[in-house]
Structure formats: C-alpha cells, structure tokens
Amino acid sequence: MNLKKEQDESQDIKAMQIKDINTSIRKANLKGVINKIVQTGGPTIFSISDGTGNITIKDFVKPGQRAYPEIDEGSFVTALIKVGSYKGVLEGEIRSIEILNEQEKDLLKQEIKRLEIDGIKVKDIGFLVDNRILDKLKNRFILAAQQIKLAIVQERPIIVRHHNDCDGYSAGFALEQSIVPLIVKQHHTPKAQWEFFLRAPCQAPYYEIDDSIRDTSNSLRNAAKFSNRMPLIIIADNGSCEADLMAIKQARIHNIEFIVVDHHGFDKDVISQEVLTHINPFLVGENGSAMSAGMLCVELARYINNDVKNMSHIAAMSGYADRIDLTDERVVLNYLSMAEKEGDNRELLSDIGLVIEYVSSKVRFMEVREYIEVLFGEPRDKQTKLVSLMAPYIRDLDRKGLAIGKAGAIQEKFGNLVLQTIEIDKFFPGFGFFPKPGRAVGLIHDNYVLETSETALITVGIMNTAVTIRATTAANFSIHSLKVFLMEQLPDSFVEGGGHKNAGALNFIPCMKNDVVRLLKEFITQKNKR
C-alpha cells in the first residue's frame, strides 16, 4: 500500500499541533505517536497524540481490512489529514501517513516529552481560605495535581475511589469537576470522559481488596480489549491506614498507580511509600478532624484545573456533614461565606448533604454520575425540586431512627463520664434501613447531649462484628488508643478499623463481641481514673 497518497500536497500544508485543530481547518499536517489502533467492520481507526492533545484519524481500504498494517501501536508517524467530524466528534481522514526515521523519531520523542512537561505545570494559585493545614500540605497538592495532569496528557484512565458518605461524595465530585473537562479537551470529544474517567464509591471506610481486584480486572480487560493504559487511581476520604495497604499493593503489581487524599488518622504511615502522593493533615503534624476530605479535594481540584468555578459550597457542605465545625468552625464558616455569595446557604447545604447521605446508602457501589450531578446543582432547578422532595422524607426517617435508638439506648456512669450503648442488631432493622448504624449512633449521641447538656459522653453502637463510636471532646477519648488497647489485651479478636479521634468504627470476629465490650468499658474506666 502506498503510504503517501498525497505526499506533494502534505509538504505545502503547515505542521500543526493537535490542540490547535478544529473543524474550521480543512487539512492538517501533524506528527505524533500512535497510541491505539482499532479495526472496525469498516475503517481502521488510529489514535494519535503529540503531547498537546489526542485525535482519532482513520482510513478505509475495504470492509474490515486493516489499513497500513506496517504501522503499530507506539509508531511515530507524520500524517496529512482531512479534518472533519463524525457524530459531533472531531476526527481526521488520512490522506497520507508514514513512519518517521530513527532520527526524526528521537527528535519527536523529546518534543513530546517537553510538551508534556509544559502541559502539567501547576500554578501556585493559593487556597480559597487561609489555613495552616493547607499551607503545610501545599507541596503535596502541587505534586498531586502534576501527576493527575500527566496521567491525562499520557491518556491514562483515572479512577476516583471515595468513601460512600457525603464527605466522600463531595471529595469525589470536586475531583470529577476538575478532571473531566481536561480529559475532554485532551481528546477533542465529550465521549472521552466515559472511557478515561470513573468515579466509584467504596462501601467500607477503606480501599478494600475487593475494590482493588475489581479495578484491576476491569483495567486489564480494557488494556487487552481497547489498548488502554493502566490507570491512575485517586483514593479520597479513604486510603491512609494499614487496611488499605494490601489493596494498593495488589493493584501496583499490575502497574496501577495511586494518589491518596484523606483526613483520617493512622497508627503508622505505611501508605506514603506505596503511592505517588499522599495528602493527609496527620502527615504534617495536624489534626484531620479540622479539615474534611471534601475541603482537601476542592483545593486540589483548583490546582488541577484553575478554570473550575463555584466549588466553595462543596467544601462547606462536606465540612458540616463531617462535623469539621466542631473542631474548626472558622474554616467551615469561611467556605460558607463564599458559598452564600454564589446563592447557597447553610440550610440548603445541610439538606443537600442529607439527601446525599441517603442516596449513598441506596446506590452503594454504583457511579450514578448524572444523578450526583443533579444533587450538586447541575442543573439548579432540578436540584431544588429533588432536595425539596427528598429532604423532608429523609428527616422523617432520621426521626424514626432516633426514636428507635432512644428506646434501646442504655446509659452508664463512669465517674464524670457517661457511656451510652445500644445493641444495633437488636433494635434496628437489617440491610437497607436508613439511617445506617454510623449515622444512627451520631443522631443518638447528639440528641443526648442536646437533651441533657452532658459534656463528657461516649456513645457506642454495638453490632455482632463491629462497634461504631462517637465521643465528645470533653470525654478525652481516642479511637486509636482503644484500638491499640484491644489489640494488646485481646489479640484473638483481630480488631481492625479506625477513623477520627472521637468518631470511628472497629471490627472484630463475632465470638469476641462480649469480650470487646467488656474491655471497652475497662478502657474507659482506666482513662477516667487518670
């Protein structure tokens, strides 16, 4: 086959970068690397990249016959294309194409690398709020943004894994808002977002090996079937503890890379050495209870894509949903002040957060991208209608859950401290019931403080294989200290889990439930004597 259908003509057409190609241009001469080749029942489709963008170019010999069989994935080529579109997607019809010689190939490789480096430069745009934690983490934000932009330029899929609650969804959605437009720009088509981006919730409060194997299996299939590269996975509102380690290591074996953005505590940092970047307040000597994952990801999203707008309401909502205002009310109010200028207020954000908590319990592992977009205000009129409909219904469910909890809660006095316990499995219906155990315990805990003005309170929801805990600051309690105590005193319980100092959950084997509860009370007794 003649590789130069219109060689003379190609010499007269100025070379162009892919980012500058649009439908107003009739023909373009470009150089790049072939990243993907797909043989359809009709034309052969090549995906070509030059460091500034990506475009699909095609040629037709006869139905199902491969055009230019000597061109492989990874070939560096020069091509003359006739610019057009198919179903609204920019593409090129090949008029001539040839493989570059070794010298030209080396020069183009260097140029593509230079363009990629230019394309991932991150401007130090500062943060939306003045905050010591953010300032300490700035270099990590910049590095994470560079790695994410590099993945986009190199056409690597990006998977965002986040916790299945309001803070997690806020974190994931903020990243989605910044990353998806860059993917669309890179590939000249809105359809690229479905091939190169996925946001999926994690049911557990960590990145499970189950999720890791699913992500790996799907990515390996896409690599084999569509020649996709292995992805970059961003774990948000999860990822910092030992429970995440096995899942991350498993995926890394298959050339998957990770970035972690989290605010939960950990006993030992075993994650940083396994990931490209690890963003967590605890890594810089700060308290993760003073900065939600949603806030962190809103600020990261702005560094990834400084064209992203109207993000302050996401930060404010995640802050209230994750009780950041109890640790640092000022930072939440600063985000709220900006959100109010954009038409949001605390009541609306509270209602949106409530609906997200409910929806997250129903969709579980599903992405539901379009539904979540509506909840975050795209479009606003649908958001208003949906939230107005759902929020009162969910508040009624919360009231029912609180009534059940109050009926089953037992209070015990330990010196100046009150321990409130409830057997979740005895009093609450099983799978699918809302509020979920963690939320139910939070409602019971807050209500007791409201009704009694008790300052030193620990509320524990007891299940057959777990306890979920909330504590006031005055209770001088620590989930992490309790975990260490149980591991030392009852190693056969195989305790796992964690969270924040005053809020979290611990898992154990069923036969050790009574011993765990006994030692929990012993732990509280010892702490109260100090």
3-state SS string over 117-169? HHHCCCCCCCCCCCCHHHHHHHHHHHHHHHHHHHHHHCCCCEEEEEECCHHHH
Residue 392 lies in a domain: no
- Tell me the per-residue pLDDT of 486-501, one tens digit each, with 9 for 90 and over: 999 999 999 988 888 8
Tell the residue number behind the tokens 């999203």, with chain if given: 301
Tell me: pLDDT of 28 over 70. yes
How far is the C-alpha of 7 from the C-alpha of 383, rounded, in Å?
A: 55
| Averaged pLDDT, 196-210 | 92
Residue 66 lies in a domain: yes
For the chain, the domain total comes to: 3
Rg (alpha carbons) of the chain, rounded to whole number? 27
- Tell me the per-residue pLDDT of 54-83, one tens digit each, with 9 for 90 and over: 999 999 999 999 999 999 999 999 999 999
Contact 91, 58 (CB under 8 A): yes
Q: Residue 398 has what pLDDT? A: 97
Q: Residue 326 has what pLDDT? A: 80
On whether both 173 and 284 belong to a single domain, the answer is yes
| Averaged pLDDT, 217-245 | 94
On whether both 246 and 137 belong to a single domain, the answer is yes
- Tell me the per-residue pLDDT of 450-473, one tens digit each, with 9 for 90 and over: 999 999 999 999 999 999 999 999
Residue 320 lies in a domain: no
Tell me: pLDDT of 10 over 70. no
Q: Residue 348 has what pLDDT? A: 94
Residue 279 lies in a domain: yes
Tell me: pLDDT of 204 over 90. no
Nearest Cα to Cα of residue 59 among 49, 51, 71, 50 = 71
Task: Quote the percentage of the chain above a pLDDT of 90.
Answer: 84
On whether both 290 and 424 belong to a single domain, the answer is no
Question: Which of 111, 139, 154 is the C-terminal boundary of a domain?
Answer: 111
Task: Quote the percentage of the chain above a pLDDT of 70.
Answer: 97
Tell me: pLDDT of 94 over 60. yes
Q: What is the DSSP string of 444-467?
A: HHHHHHHHH--SSEEEEEE-SSEE
Average predicted confidence (pLDDT) for the chain: 93
On whether both 134 and 239 belong to a single domain, the answer is yes
For residue 215, the Cα-to-chain-centroid distance in whole angstroms is 14
How far is the C-alpha of 466 from the C-alpha of 449, rounded, in Å?
A: 24
| Averaged pLDDT, 103-119 | 94
The contacts of residue 97 (CB under 8 Å, 6+ apart) are: 3, 57, 59, 68, 71, 77, 78, 79, 80
| Averaged pLDDT, 240-259 | 96
Question: Which of 314, 331, 353 is the C-terminal boundary of a domain?
Answer: 314
Beta bridge partners of 49: 33, 54
Residue 485 lies in a domain: yes
Beta bridge partners of 420: 411, 459
| Averaged pLDDT, 131-152 | 97
| Averaged pLDDT, 199-210 | 91
How far is the C-alpha of 21 from the C-alpha of 28, rounded, in Å?
A: 8
Residue 335 lies in a domain: no
407 in helix, strand or coil?
A: helix
Q: Residue 364 has what pLDDT? A: 81
On whether both 488 and 517 belong to a single domain, the answer is yes
Nearest Cα to Cα of residue 509 among 497, 500, 521 = 497
Model confidence pTM above 0.85: yes
- For β-strands 76-86 and 89-99, DSSP reports them as antiparallel
Q: Residue 316 has what pLDDT? A: 96
Q: Omega into 435 within 30° of 0, i.e. cis?
A: yes
- Tell me the per-residue pLDDT of 326-338, one tens digit each, with 9 for 90 and over: 889 999 999 999 9
How far is the C-alpha of 479 from the C-alpha of 523, rounded, in Å?
A: 11
CATH number of 443's domain: 3.10.310.40
Lowest-pLDDT range of 10-24, 73-87, 273-287, 376-390: 10-24
On whether both 103 and 127 belong to a single domain, the answer is no
Lowest-pLDDT range of 42-51, 279-288, 361-370, 515-524: 361-370
Residue 472 lies in a domain: yes
Helix axis angle, 346-363 to 312-321, nearest 10°: 70
Q: Residue 5 has what pLDDT? A: 47
| Averaged pLDDT, 223-247 | 94
- Which H or E element spans position 189? none
Count the Cβ atoms, other than its own, within 10 Å of residue 310: 15
Number of H helices, E strands in the chain: 17, 16
Nearest Cα to Cα of residue 357 among 165, 161, 163, 205 = 165
On whether both 130 and 268 belong to a single domain, the answer is yes
Nearest Cα to Cα of residue 304 among 148, 127, 126, 114 = 148
The contacts of residue 469 (CB under 8 Å, 6+ apart) are: 441, 458, 459, 460, 461, 477, 479, 482, 499, 503, 504, 505, 506
Query: Domain range for residue 24?
Result: 7-111
- Which H or E element spans position 106? helix 102-119
On whether both 275 and 171 belong to a single domain, the answer is yes
How far is the C-alpha of 31 from the C-alpha of 110, rounded, in Å?
A: 13
Tell me: pLDDT of 3 over 70. no
Q: Residue 410 has what pLDDT? A: 97
- Tell me the per-residue pLDDT of 405-429, one tens digit each, with 9 for 90 and over: 999 999 999 989 999 999 999 999 9
3-state SS string over 255-278? CCEEEEECCCCCCCCCCHHHCCEE
CATH number of 224's domain: 3.90.1640.30
Alpha carbons within 13 A on the beta-carbon side of 213: 4
Count the Cβ atoms, other than its own, within 10 Å of residue 363: 15
How far is the C-alpha of 483 from the C-alpha of 460, rounded, in Å?
A: 14
On whether both 494 and 432 belong to a single domain, the answer is yes
How far is the C-alpha of 509 from the C-alpha of 516, rounded, in Å?
A: 10
Instruction: Give the N- to C-terminal CA distance of the chain in Å, as an integer.
Output: 86
Question: Which sign does the torsion angle of CA 206, 211, 216, 218 carry?
Answer: negative
Q: Residue 236 has what pLDDT? A: 98
On whether both 144 and 291 belong to a single domain, the answer is yes
How far is the C-alpha of 57 from the C-alpha of 44, rounded, in Å?
A: 9
On whether both 98 and 152 belong to a single domain, the answer is no
Residue 364 lies in a domain: no
Tell me: pLDDT of 292 over 50. yes
In the numeric block, which tokens belong to residue 116? 């990629």
| Averaged pLDDT, 8-32 | 83
On whether both 446 and 522 belong to a single domain, the answer is yes
Q: Residue 4 has what pLDDT? A: 47
Question: Which of 283, 314, 345 is the C-terminal boundary of a domain?
Answer: 314
CATH number of 52's domain: 2.40.50.140
How far is the C-alpha of 448 from the C-alpha of 313, rounded, in Å?
A: 30
How far is the C-alpha of 163 from the C-alpha of 203, rounded, in Å?
A: 7
Lowest-pLDDT range of 1-15, 191-205, 323-337, 468-482: 1-15
Q: Residue 12 has what pLDDT? A: 61
Type of residue found at 441: V
Tell the residue number behind the tokens 């774990």, with chain if given: 235
pLDDT band at 530 (very low <50, low <70, confident <90, very high): low
In the numeric block, which tokens belong to residue 245? 């380690």
Q: What is the DSSP string of 204-237?
A: SSS--HHHHHHHHHHHHHHHHHH-PPPPEEEEES
| Averaged pLDDT, 175-192 | 94
How far is the C-alpha of 9 from the C-alpha of 96, rounded, in Å?
A: 9
DSSP class of 491:
G
